[in-house]
């Protein structure tokens, strides 16, 4: 069953056939204490401490929080405020100077035969190794894997849609880490005692689809589902509607309809944590746009944008806009002194980006209403937000907006509808 609305922006999956590469280890990494949904982590190291690659450097503050580990061996040089790519302001980060040796902690683990362990033991391990959702939201995985007792989980969905233009890191992960993905899915199904696993792939990633189909051919309770490409299919509610024809209620969660859903790369991270004992210290991201050295790269968490620019020889004088994430939902960065975090799925460089300063009156064409996947009225939201009629804004459910950007994309009057809704949410929350 298709979800309503949505658009078909130009895909620009230029790096789809680029194998995952690596870059040299940077001299410094900057590890934000807030790179997950929830409370910032609490540092357990201090300036001057020597740390190994994979060593825990910060612990969670409460249930909805996450652990943090060093992606390099070296010395903690300071804990200072550094620009945050999502919060767009300075925030505390642990700065580590690499000694260039990449000396690791002992990754050996007793959890290899995961089916011998209880859900609680495995969830604690996932929490301890700092796994969060890698699709962008960075929700701590241990929380999603601990539904209340009255919530029965029937389905676990691996989201391989990657519907944002340009981004191809999930596609490459599905092709190059298909075994880890399928095993990660089985681990999660074991934890949740789920009946069925479904890996969903859009039909512009046929190589990934074929690879995964082969991998699960002998596993009866895992299915690969091929769906027609459409934006924003990767959004949780839209994907559940598409695959299972279930509606997640307004303000509700996938677990309310018996589903737990993770991005494909998150399952690989869960596999690495449980079977290999490796914490979340690096991730695959796409680097693309108007630059020569594009690709998909496995980079250490905390690598500074300026180091990536230098290593890839990118001439930023020709670049007008840099976005972390995809062009539809990503966040424009104002400084090269910004590190990547666990949720950074891509870095896009654009040279011909035009900033729209002016916008026009709504012509009531209703195009934004047609494409809104949440069945909202973006035209009225935009209008009432412009005139600061907050009581009226509330009537049109701004908090159901998933900030997909479809409305702004089609608006002929070039109204900045998503930016207006984000602003309204912050005002109403206050
Ligand atoms: S109102 Fe929100 S959910 Fe609807 S199209 Fe616009 S950004 Fe997407
Ligand atoms: S698309 Fe733009 S012009 Fe058309 S109804 Fe929506 S806000 Fe108005």
Same domain, 207 and 136: yes
Residue 53's pLDDT is what?
98
Rounded to two decimals, what is the model's pTM?
Answer: 0.95
Same domain, 171 and 268: yes
Last residue of a domain, one of 276, 302, 336: 276
**Does the C-beta of 406 come closer than 6 Å to ligand 2?**
no
Same domain, 191 and 300: no
Nearest atom in ligand 1 to the alpha carbon of residue 5 is 5
Same domain, 334 and 297: yes
The reply to whether 19 falls in a domain is no
Last residue of a domain, one of 299, 319, 350: 350
Domain that holds residue 404: 367-429
Q: Whose CA is nearest to atom 6 of ligand 1?
A: 407
**Does the C-beta of 377 come closer than 6 Å to ligand 2?**
no
Q: Whose CA is nearest to atom 8 of ligand 2?
A: 362
The reply to whether 35 falls in a domain is yes
CATH number, domain of 237, equals 3.40.50.11540
**Does the C-beta of 418 come closer than 6 Å to ligand 1?**
yes
Last residue of a domain, one of 243, 260, 276: 276
How many whole angstroms from 334 Cα to the centroid of ligand 1? 25
The reply to whether 9 falls in a domain is no
Same domain, 128 and 211: yes
The reply to whether 355 falls in a domain is no
The reply to whether 6 falls in a domain is no
Residue 251's pLDDT is what?
87
**Does the C-beta of 365 come closer than 6 Å to ligand 2?**
yes
Same domain, 308 and 377: no
Same domain, 135 and 245: yes
**Does the C-beta of 417 come closer than 6 Å to ligand 1?**
yes
Same domain, 122 and 145: yes
- Per-residue HEC secondary structure of the chain comes to CCCCCCECCCCCCCCCCCCEECCCCCCEEEEECCCCCCCCCEECCCCCCEECECCEEEECCCCCCCCEECCCCEEEEEEEEEECCCCCCEEEEEEEEECCCCCECCCCCCCCCHHHCCHHHHHHHHHHCCCECCCCCCCEHHHHCCCCCCCCCCEEEEEECCCCCCCCHHHHHHHHCHHHHHHHHHHHHHHHCCCEEEEEEECCCHHHHHHHHHHCCCCCCEEEEEECCCECCCCHHHHHHHHHCCCCCCCCCHHHHCEEEEEHHHHHHHHHHHHHCCCCCEEEEEEEECCCCCEEEEEECCCEHHHHHHHCCCCHHHCCEEEECCCCCCEEECCCCCECCCCCCEEEEECCCCCCCCCCCCCCCCHHHHHCCCCCCHHHHHHHHHCCCHHHHHHCCHHHCCCCCHHHHHCCCCCCHHHHHHHHHHHHHC
Same domain, 167 and 96: no
Residue 250's pLDDT is what?
87
Same domain, 267 and 121: yes
CATH number, domain of 325, equals 3.10.20.600
Residue 359's pLDDT is what?
80
Q: Whose CA is nearest to atom 3 of ligand 2?
A: 362
Flag residues of the chain having pLDDT under 70. 353-357
**Does the C-beta of 413 come closer than 6 Å to ligand 2?**
yes
Residue 355's pLDDT is what?
60
**Does the C-beta of 328 come closer than 6 Å to ligand 1?**
no
How many whole angstroms from 240 Cα to the centroid of ligand 1? 18
- Measured from the alpha carbon of residue 363, the closest ligand is 2
The reply to whether 78 falls in a domain is yes
The reply to whether 193 falls in a domain is yes
Pocket test for ligand 2, best of 5, 366, 367 (most atoms within 8 A of CB): 367
Pocket test for ligand 2, best of 364, 396, 408 (most atoms within 8 A of CB): 364
Instruction: Count the domains in the chain.
Output: 3
How many whole angstroms from 376 Cα to the centroid of ligand 1? 7
- Condensed to tens digits (0 to 9), the pLDDT of residues 250-287 reads 889 999 999 999 999 999 999 999 999 999 999 999 99
Q: Whose CA is nearest to atom 1 of ligand 2?
A: 411
**Does the C-beta of 279 come closer than 6 Å to ligand 1?**
no
Same domain, 264 and 401: no
Same domain, 331 and 199: no
**Does the C-beta of 224 come closer than 6 Å to ligand 2?**
no
The reply to whether 75 falls in a domain is yes
């Amino acid at each position: 069953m298709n979800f309503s609305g949505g658009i078909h922006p130009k895909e620009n999956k230029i790096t789809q056939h680029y194998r995952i590469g690596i870059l040299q280890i940077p001299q410094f990494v900057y590890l934000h204490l807030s790179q997950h949904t929830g409370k910032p982590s609490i540092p357990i190291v201090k300036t001057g401490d020597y740390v190994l690659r994979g060593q825990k450097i910060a612990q969670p503050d409460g249930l909805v929080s996450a652990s943090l580990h060093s992606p390099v061996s070296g010395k903690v040089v300071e804990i200072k405020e550094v620009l945050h790519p999502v919060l767009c302001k300075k925030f505390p980060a642990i700065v580590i100077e690499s000694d260039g040796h990449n000396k690791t902690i002992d990754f050996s683990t007793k959890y290899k035969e995961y089916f011998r362990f209880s859900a609680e033991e495995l969830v604690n391990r996932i929490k301890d190794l700092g796994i969060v959702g890698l699709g962008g939201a960075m929700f701590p995985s241990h929380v999603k894997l601990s539904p209340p007792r009255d919530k029965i989980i029937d389905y676990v969905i691996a989201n391989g849609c990657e519907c944002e233009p340009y981004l191809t890191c999930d596609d490459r992960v599905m092709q190059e880490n298909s075994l880890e993905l399928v095993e990660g899915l089985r681990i999660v199904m074991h934890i949740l005692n789920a009946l069925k696993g479904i890996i969903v792939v859009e039909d512009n990633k046929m190589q990934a689809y074929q690879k995964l189909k082969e991998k699960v051919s002998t596993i009866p309770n895992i299915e690969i589902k091929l769906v027609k490409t459409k934006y924003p299919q990767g959004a949780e509610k839209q994907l559940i509607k598409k695959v299972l024809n279930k509606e997640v209620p307004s303000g509700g969660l996938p677990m309310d309809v018996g589903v737990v859903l993770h991005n494909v790369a998150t399952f690989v991270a869960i596999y690495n944590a449980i079977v290999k004992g490796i914490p979340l210290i690096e991730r695959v991201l796409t680097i693309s746009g108007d630059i020569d050295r594009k690709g998909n790269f496995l980079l250490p968490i905390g690598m500074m944008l300026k180091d990536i620019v230098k290593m890839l020889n990118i001439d930023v004088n020709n670049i007008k806009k840099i976005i972390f994430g995809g062009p539809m939902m990503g966040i424009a960065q104002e400084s090269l002194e910004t590190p990547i975090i666990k949720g950074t799925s891509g870095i896009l460089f654009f040279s011909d980006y035009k900033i729209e300063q002016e916008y026009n009156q709504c012509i009531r064409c209703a195009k934004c209403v047609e494409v809104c996947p949440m069945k909202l009225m973006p035209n009225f939201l935009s209008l009432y937000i412009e005139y600061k009629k907050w009581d009226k804004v509330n009537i049109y459910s701004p908090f159901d907006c998933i900030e997909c950007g479809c409305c702004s994309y089609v608006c002929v009057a070039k109204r900045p509808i998503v930016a207006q809704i984000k602003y309204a949410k912050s005002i109403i929350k206050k």
